[in-house]
Structure 1
Amino acid sequence: MRADSASYQADLFNYCEETGKTFAIGGKLDAPTLVAIAAIPESAWTHYADCAVAETVQSMEHTDKAFRLIVVRYHHQAELLEEDRPRYHVIASNRSGSTADVLIWYRQRGEHSENGIKELKIGFGMERMPCGQESANSAFFRVGVVAHNLFVLFKHSALGEGWQRHRIATARWRLFQVPGRLVRHAGTWILKVATTVAEDFAAIRSRAYSFIHDPTPE
């Protein structure tokens, strides 16, 4: 589970521990947390270009177990002619691994959740439900989620390198709107497709065929 500080709750931490779930949750800079940060020796900080990172152990009044508290320290200019003052961001976690690994895993939540929701809303028309009945809207939303999942599968199984981070709008534009032109000539509709695009589509078809017959990842 990865979430922001709204989920920084003892009951949630206890639930994750009891059910064997891994969590990384943004913390709150309350008085006990600030005391714990102040107790971290300077030698324990790992310095990067834009921040420093360290960790300690923390607990809450109603948590059954202590947890890791990963601290990111930033410096910013508060006011003109005033000394730089640090600001902190903390992450509570029970995940094993290095401090950097946990921090990277926590920061990936935007790509896997918020951006996925944004893609559903904007790319697949799930921003507004079309009906007044909950059951109909539920069916509509499920169709949208299936379409989204099929598009993700299509990107990873049929499209080449460089496509995996593209949204559905970019794929529609590059695959369907740009490659060809529908023209009318001598009373007949003709689809004109560039030679290079035809080669790309042949490669996509070949990769899709191979995936269907052997979906095991390399």
Structure 2
Amino acid sequence: MTSPTGALTLRPHIAHWAEAGVPLAATLLGGTEDPRQNMVEILDAAIAALPDGVEHIRTRWDAGYFAAALAQACIERGVSFAIGAKRTRPLMAAATHAPDDAWVPAIGMEHTEIAVIGYLPGTWPEDAGIRCIARRTRIPVEMIPTARARKRRTIPAAQLTLALDGLVDAVYGYSFILTDIDLTDPEDAPEDERGLALAEVEYWYRHRTDIEALNKDAKHGTALRHLPSANRAVNTVWMHAALLGCAIAAWTQELASTDHGNGRGRFTVTRFRREIIRTPARLIRQSRTILLRLPPGGHLLEIVLPRLQALPDPSG
């Protein structure tokens, strides 16, 4: 696929294991190709890459993957899902007509509420317990985004017209999720925790943006932002090599306990390469012992290497 200037435009689509912070599967598509064309293949590849013992899988998908086929594939594989829904007129109408008592506060977002609304696209499975979560954020008129801003598209056209005509002092921006995850509160939940299960699922889905940091790390740390060839096969090999570098950096830090132990708090690939891989050193012999002598000053390698050496031999 080429741009108007003749440049090759390709875009990697990557499935990450969020808790571990490592890539599981990826494919390289043209910049204008529909990412939904091989989303089931990516799902299967990601599932196959997970280690044994993972009891339940929950997946988060952007609205670019909004499709009934993906939902059906997840259901058939016993995988829970939350998929961003496109803002269609029927969906916007369903949200704007939701009763006031259906809305509960969102976690960690000011002036934002969430609710379960009665909407399911016609081609989606009706007997799979799929629910639609709507999120609305109050936006004062003076803070309405400019016409070119993506956020402006979250505001229903009727509300936007009233606001621009000076007839209302605030509007709501909406976003939507379709999920088969249980949103039911426990029967003994106190009144002040009503809707907590719903809020927790929406909060979990919203933080899929953590993955954007991993994608950024791959672009800047392992050169995924610059594909070197006009040949897609060559670029695909380059992409997998870049993601392998990300995985090596992530697992090394996991094994050496230099992170928080939950896929967070890690060095970027750039820092990992600079302070561990590219640390100058030399081997010396002293009293029949081989030593690795590092240059003066503190080095991460002094912490990482002994911890890696202390790990049990995987061969037994």
Q: Is the 8 A contact 1:180 1:193 kept in 2?
A: no
Alignment of 1:5-154 (within 5 A): 5-48=63-106, 49-65=110-126, 67-79=130-142, 82-97=168-183, 98-112=197-211, 114-131=212-229, 134-154=232-252
Find the counterpart in structure 1 of residue 304 from structure 2. 204
Q: Is the 8 A contact 1:27 1:90 kept in 2?
A: yes
| RMSD, aligned α-carbons | 3.2
How far the C-alpha of 1:151 sits from its partner, in A, is 0.6
- Which is worse superposed, 81-90 or 161-170? 161-170
Give the whole-Å Cα distance in 1 for the aligned partners of 2:137 and 2:223: 39
How far the C-alpha of 1:79 sits from its partner, in A, is 4.2
**SS of the residue 2:225 aligns to:** coil
Gaps of 5+ in 2: 1-58, 144-165, 184-196, 282-292
Residue 2 in 1 paired to residue 103 in 2? Answer: no
Moved over 6 A (4+): none
Give the whole-Å Cα distance in 2 for the aligned partners of 1:99 and 1:37: 16
Q: Is the 8 A contact 2:116 2:131 kept in 1?
A: yes
Tell me how many residue pairs correspond in the alignment: 201
Find the counterpart in structure 1 of residue 253 from structure 2. 155
Q: Is the 8 A contact 2:259 2:266 kept in 1?
A: no
Distance 1:38 1:175, change over 3 A: same
Q: Is the 8 A contact 1:57 1:67 kept in 2?
A: no
TM-score by length of 1: 0.74
How far the C-alpha of 1:75 sits from its partner, in A, is 0.6
**SS of the residue 2:267 aligns to:** coil
Gaps of 5+ in 1: 182-189
Amino acid at match of 2:303: A
Give the whole-Å Cα distance in 1 for the aligned partners of 2:229 and 2:88: 45
**What are the Cα deviations for residues 145-183 of structure 1, in whole angstroms up to 9, with x where unaligned?**
222211100111115246733311233455578x889xx
**What are the Cα deviations for residues 13-43 of structure 1, in whole angstroms up to 9, with x where unaligned?**
3333334332211123323223332443222
Give the whole-Å Cα distance in 2 for the aligned partners of 1:28 and 1:136: 34
Amino acid at match of 1:193: P
TM-score by length of 2: 0.53
169, 174, 178: which one aligns with 2:270: 169
Find the counterpart in structure 1 of residue 290 from structure 2. none
Give the whole-Å Cα distance in 1 for the aligned partners of 2:73 and 2:134: 23
Indicate the structure with greater helix content.
1
